[in-house]
Structure 1
Amino acid sequence: MSTTHENGQLKRDVFSQPEFRDRLEELPPSAKLVAKVLETDEPLPQGELAEKSLLPDRTVRYALNRLEESDLVESRYSFTDARKQVYFLDV
């Protein structure tokens, strides 16, 4: 399965990449769920991740920290609102 970025470039399904799966396997279920949400709707701010995953804000924050520590997720400031950070899978 593949998805398309906003700029039209084709992106491989990161969950089928062995290295990505190995690093993700070691993380808690909340981090896996957040990564799955980011696979389909990226980039997203923390609040939207909480809404889409149905997880509490604190749990999403913990999951994002774990994903960033494992180099699976990166963040940047939002182009539309510089006060917010958005998160996306690091592929």
Structure 2
Amino acid sequence: MSTSTVEDPDAIAEEPLSEEEYRNRLRELPPSAKLVAKVLEIDSPLSQGQLTEESLLPDRTVRYALNRLEEVGLVGSRYSFRDARKQVYFLKH
């Protein structure tokens, strides 16, 4: 039996993306994801509801945009310190 441990991939600290890599990943995404990223660039962390209010996009569109941004590693999330029932989102770059 091996005594080696498997690290949690979420626990590994990621290096920040270069501006060029950030822009390249963002370039391939739909306009809604670009808008959500811009809102997070100006003010973060924000909840999904706050992103909906700030971006003027429908809730479903914001959810889709966040999923796409998470898939390409541009957005991270954590539980809110103010309300542990909510998650807040932030840019990783």
Counterpart in the other structure of 1:40: 42
Select 1:54's aligned residue among 15, 36, 56: 56
Q: CA RMSD in A?
A: 1.3
Write the letter of the residue equivalent to 2:74.
L
Aligned residues: 77
1:14-70 deviations in whole A, cap 9, x for unaligned? Answer: 8x8110000000000000000000001100000000000000000000000000000
> Of Structure 1 and Structure 2, which has the larger fraction of its residues in strand?
1
Write the letter of the residue equivalent to 2:52.
A
Is 1:75 matched with 2:77?
Answer: yes
| Relative contact order higher in (CA < 8 Å, ≥ 6 apart) | 2
Unaligned runs of 5+ in 2: 1-16
Determine the C-alpha separation between the residues in 1 that align with 2:92 and 2:64: 17
Q: Percent identity?
A: 77
Runs of 4 or more consecutive aligned structure 1 residues displaced over 3 Å after TM superposition: none
TM (norm. structure 2) is 0.80
SS of the counterpart of 1:59? helix
Unaligned runs of 5+ in 1: 1-13
TM (norm. structure 1) is 0.82
